[in-house]
Amino acid sequence: MTRVVPLRRPWLWLGSAVVAIAAALLALSIYRNPNIQHGVILQYQFAPAILAGLRTTVVLALLAALIGMVLGVLLAVMRLSASPVLRLASGFYTWLLRGTPLLVQILIWGNLALLFEHIGPFRTNDLLTPFVASVIALGLNEGAYMAEIVRAGIIAVDRGQNDAALALGMSHPLALRRIILPQALRVIMPPAGNQFISLLKATSLVSVIAGGDMLTAAQNISSANLHTIELMLVATFWYLVLTTIASLGQHYIERRLGKSGVGIHATS
Amino acid sequence: MPPPETGQPMLRAQDVHKRYRHEEVLKGIDLEVASGEVLCLIGPSGSGKSTFLRCINHLERIDAGRLYVDGALVGYRERGDCLYEMHPREICRQRADIGMVFQRFNLFPHLTVLQNVIEAPLKVRREAKAEAVERARALLARVGLADKADAYPSRLSGGQQQRVAIARALAMRPKLMLFDEPTSALDPELVGEVLGVMRGLTEDGMTMIVVTHEMAFARDAADTVAFMDAGVIVESGPPREILSHPRHERTRGFLARVIGAHQ
């Protein structure tokens, strides 16, 4: 029997060793660092205040994603409409909200009472609690990004699909809902998943208006006991848990969408 | 044999004009298709055949003239000497009665074959599901694809996809069927199965307007052949007359090129 001798790759081994040792040293230096009290991390990892903040973070992200999705479809359809006014309005919205920092938008919504003391018969501060202001700021911002993602998805669908749907007597909205959007979803899902993961992390920005999210909770605790790093590590852990779950969910949905084995242009 | 005239024609086009920006693609089309008649539209690419077909179900808006399908003005309502564009809902109702088959099939790739066929009957006609499914299965059997009901379009050959597309159009029980070069995107060996299904339809008395380059089909399936060039109908008549004894120089030139290329 002839023996097969694989090519020797010493540099590959050396590179791997360097990376592994560096990683081990980094972990060790954090673990043995006298400035970190592991007991504090353990104490707060499941503290009720942190878990309440975690819940708020999740609710914030889900609400903002929902608003963003609905708004994104609306803005994308406006962007592709026959009316120049609607196209321009949609373009302006996207330009404004993508062109300014989210942090600034959150601060504006959180301090809207300084601009309008009353909204209708209500006092602005009663309506726009920090949580509501956070949902609005994140949702509106998300909408601007989703608009571009949805638009790209819609124009990726072959024009013949729309022709075929209309020729069968479908109305434009029905064709969009039943024929165009389901196909656009395959193009929309991967960037929308990324967008949602960004959103999960962006919720932390609402801590500047005391939005009640997990970072707000962690900062409230650390400003009292001065264990800043420990509480940031507590938050880090939970953020990683959330983004990992979101990634897995994204992977699962993409696989399900791909299951029918259908390409967008499969009919051509 | 052209069927006998029974009252109003299924399609009546009067001086139909269509322009894209500065280019006039239809320069006054006058045409009548009787109920049960099969009309083949032939002509060089860019002559406006497909555009005219898309005007018939208002996928394209016409700029002047009138189009009547089964006596009803397409896309507009006439009051006094004004044409008012219809509400989208009414246009949808008109389109539902006109079947259309496309060059590139345009099946819905995210739906199975059966779902493709029942989608419009369920959502547009609001038929009961059991009834729609039953008729869809019968139609699929008729186009020879009863066993493919649960397959996705991407698993089918071009010829099979086009046959599903015909079944999908028939599921709406159209009064008129429009075919836009239904075999042009097919491999040569698959053309026959689609033309076979279309021949079956002509025998059932379906009114059909077929844009095609298949001269053999035009010769033996059509009641009338119309030759289009540069946005006008140059001549029309029984297939034997147009295809064998064209009166116009342009028709002769076109036929010489097409038939030359096929032999």
Q: What is the pLDDT of residue A267?
A: 38
Q: What is the pLDDT of residue B32?
A: 95
- Of the residues B106, B166, B179, the best mutation for testing chain A's interface (the one with the most A CB atoms within 10 Å of its CB) is B106
Show Cβ contacts of residue A128 under 8 Å, excluding neighbours closer than 6 positions. A109, A110, A112, A113, A136
pLDDT tier at B263, thresholds 50, 70, 90: very low
Greater model confidence, A145 or B77? A145
pLDDT tier at B262, thresholds 50, 70, 90: low
Which residues from A are below 8 Å from B when comparing CB atoms?
Answer: 158, 160-161, 163-172, 174, 178-179, 182-183, 260-268
Contacts of B108 in chain A (CB under 8 A): 161, 164-165, 179, 183, 267
Contacts of B96 in chain A (CB under 8 A): 168-169
Q: Which helix (H) or strand (E) holds A38?
A: helix A38-45
For residues B185-192, average pLDDT: 93
Percent of chain B surpassing pLDDT 70? 96
Q: What is the pLDDT of residue A31?
A: 85
Q: What is the pLDDT of residue B83?
A: 84
For residues A42-50, average pLDDT: 91
Residue B8 has pLDDT above 90, yes or no: no
For residues A103-123, average pLDDT: 89
Give the count of beta carbons closer than 10 Å to the beta carbon of residue B226.
Answer: 23
- Pick from B247, B259, B225: which is nearest to B42 by CA? B225
Contacts of B172 in chain A (CB under 8 A): 168-169
Given an 8 Å threshold on Cβ–Cβ distance, is B109 in contact with A261? Answer: no
Using a 10 angstrom Cβ sphere, with 0-12 exposed, 13-18 middle and 19 or more buried, the burial of residue A190 is: middle
Q: What is the pLDDT of residue B6?
A: 57
For residues A37-53, average pLDDT: 90
Given an 8 Å threshold on Cβ–Cβ distance, is B59 in contact with A163? Answer: yes
Which residues from B are below 8 Å from A when comparing CB atoms?
Answer: 54, 57, 59, 88-89, 92-93, 95-100, 102, 104-110, 119-120, 123-125, 152-155, 161, 165, 168-169, 172, 185
For residues B49-63, average pLDDT: 94
Show Cβ contacts of residue B19 under 8 Å, excluding neighbours closer than 6 positions. B25, B26, B63
d(CA A90, CA A106): 21
Q: Which residue of A has its CA nearest to B125?
A: A169
Q: What is the pLDDT of residue A266?
A: 40
Select from A166, A172, A267 the Cβ nearest to the Cβ of B153: A267
pLDDT tier at A36, thresholds 50, 70, 90: confident
Q: Which tokens in the block code for residue B143?
A: 């186009």
Q: What is the pLDDT of residue A265?
A: 42
pTM of the model: 0.82
Q: What is the pLDDT of residue B80?
A: 82
Residue A117 has pLDDT above 90, yes or no: no
Q: Provide the H-helix boundaries in B151-234.
A: 158-170, 188-203, 215-221
Q: What is the pLDDT of residue B260?
A: 67
Q: Decide if B33 contacts B9 (C-beta within 8 A).
A: yes
Q: What is the pLDDT of residue A264?
A: 43
Distance from CA of B210 to the nearest CA of A (A): 16
Greater model confidence, A171 or A115? A171
Contacts of A158 in chain B (CB under 8 A): 106
Distance from CA of B177 to the nearest CA of A (A): 11
Q: What is the pLDDT of residue B261?
A: 57
For residues A120-134, average pLDDT: 88
- Pick from B239, B219, B235: which is nearest to B227 by CA? B235
Question: Could you tell me the end-to-end alpha-carbon distance of chain B, in angstroms, rounded to an integer?
Answer: 28
Select from A165, A171, A264 the Cβ nearest to the Cβ of B109: A264
Distance from CA of B216 to the nearest CA of A (A): 26
Q: What is the pLDDT of residue A263?
A: 47
Question: Comparing A8-22, A109-123, B198-212, which segment has the lowest mean pLDDT?
Answer: A109-123
Q: What is the pLDDT of residue B82?
A: 84
What average pLDDT does chain A have?
Answer: 91
**Strand partners of residue B98:** B176
Percent of chain B surpassing pLDDT 90? 86
Q: What is the pLDDT of residue A259?
A: 61
Q: Checking DSSP bridges between strand B76-79 and strand B82-85, what pairing results, if any?
A: antiparallel
Given an 8 Å threshold on Cβ–Cβ distance, is A169 in contact with B124? Answer: yes
The ipTM is 0.92
For residues B116-123, average pLDDT: 97
d(CA A68, CA A144): 7
Percent of chain A surpassing pLDDT 70? 96
Q: What is the pLDDT of residue B1?
A: 46
Select from B102, B168, B172 the Cβ nearest to the Cβ of A160: B102
Distance from CA of A79 to the nearest CA of B (A): 20
pLDDT digit string (tens) for A213-246? 999 999 999 999 989 999 999 999 999 999 999 9
Residue B259 has pLDDT above 90, yes or no: no
Contacts of A261 in chain B (CB under 8 A): 152, 154-155
Question: Comparing B2-16, B55-69, B166-180, B224-238, which segment has the lowest mean pLDDT?
Answer: B2-16
